[in-house]
Amino acid sequence: NVYAVIMAGGAGTRFWPASRNHRPKQLLALGGDANESLLAATVRRLAPLVPADRVYIATGAHLIDATAAVLPDVPRAQLLAEPVPRNTAPCIGWAAATIARRDPEALIAVLPSDHYILDEPGFRATLERALDGARQGRITTIGIVPTRPETGYGYIELGAELAPGLSSVARFVEKPNRARAEEYVAGKKHLWNAGMFFFHASAMKKAIAAHLPALAAGLDRLDTAAKDGNEAAVLAEVFPTLPSVSIDVGVMEKSADLAVAHGDFGWNDVGSWESAWELAAKDASGNALPDGTVAVDAHRNLVRDLTTDKKKKLVALVGVNDLVIVETDDAFLVIPRERAQDVRAVVDALRTRG
């Protein structure tokens, strides 16, 4: 049977002020539909392939209630609460071991919770191909043809073709520097890693044992405790000691025998307000504005009213271009779109201020 693990533990600091510790990116409606959170959309578009009773959500303990609220169909016992974030390798290892106790033959699809996907049937067809790679015993990912030298992604060098739309991986490189990324895009032999992973529970267990022995030892302790019925207590003790490392660096960069399914379904990792603007419906001047906004000689701006009572204050823009303007109940942000990544600096400043 096929199971899904949705990774929903990131902080999403690049969406300040919409995102907060208790309200990270995946719980916000940042995709096409203003009423559906990215996390709920992830579970919904998976449903024809993996029903909610085989979906697991890995998130922070402090987010469990908010997560349950947007996912009424996922059984509560399948919301896995990490006491502290330890990045994606521990998250995936723990979830895979949990599923393997239920079904030792499990085929597992690990997906991020915060991506936008345009062509959902196309996405599911690619996912089926990736599962074929996993059935062959390979840890398989999805690759997207790169369109710019993005340094925030992993790059996959294509190996031999295994089946139509499925290739082996010559090399996996996580977040290369700018010069490398430019080389990869120009060379046309690399795909972007879409951050999704497909494998037999046993294949991931083997890979973690080979490349992350400290993690494997910790996961074994958790597994034994779960079988003895006292996982909760051991989790609080063991999870914070697990090595904090991403699956990309900890496993993918080190493994041979990987595969990649070629994907072309309109993918956006919704990394910042800039990508939110790209995805939003826009007027003829490229502005994405609340109804009623007055825009005079203003171009390519994103304005969002995220106040709870939607006061619908009248907003007027005159002679400004390429700005992001966001209002919440307790904050107001104005930033040039091209500096959207820098809202992190606000979060940092607020942290130091305490």
Q: Which residues bind ligand GDD (CB under 6 A)?
A: 7-10, 26, 58-59, 82, 85-88, 91, 112-114, 152-154, 174, 192-195, 248, 269
d(CA 136, CA 199): 9
Least distance from C-beta 113 to ligand GDD, angstroms?
4
In this structure, what are the phi and psi dihedrals at residue 165, rounded to the nearest 5 degrees? 80, 10
The tokens for 225 are 């405790």
> In the complex with ligand GDD, which residue's Cβ is closer, 273 or 303?
273
- Of the candidates 174, 139, 133, the one whose C-alpha atom is nearest the C-alpha of residue 157 is 174
Asked if residue 127 lies in contact with residue 169, where contact means CB atoms within 8 angstroms, the answer is: no
> In the complex with ligand GDD, which residue's Cβ is closer, 91 or 235?
91
d(CA 314, CA 285): 19
Least distance from C-beta 134 to ligand GDD, angstroms?
17
d(CA 90, CA 212): 10
d(CA 299, CA 195): 33
Least distance from C-beta 166 to ligand GDD, angstroms?
19
> In the complex with ligand GDD, which residue's Cβ is closer, 240 or 286?
240
Asked if residue 8 lies in contact with residue 67, where contact means CB atoms within 8 angstroms, the answer is: yes
The tokens for 286 are 């490229």
* Cα dihedral 161→167→169→172 (10° resolution): 140
Least distance from C-beta 34 to ligand GDD, angstroms?
21
- Of the candidates 38, 75, 82, 80, the one whose C-alpha atom is nearest the C-alpha of residue 54 is 75
User: Considering just the CA atoms, what is the radius of gyration of the chain in Å?
Assistant: 21
- Of the candidates 120, 115, 130, 86, the one whose C-alpha atom is nearest the C-alpha of residue 28 is 115
Token match 């879409």: residue?
194
> In the complex with ligand GDD, which residue's Cβ is closer, 269 or 278?
269
Least distance from C-beta 151 to ligand GDD, angstroms?
10
> In the complex with ligand GDD, which residue's Cβ is closer, 83 or 290?
83
Least distance from C-beta 248 to ligand GDD, angstroms?
4
Least distance from C-beta 116 to ligand GDD, angstroms?
11
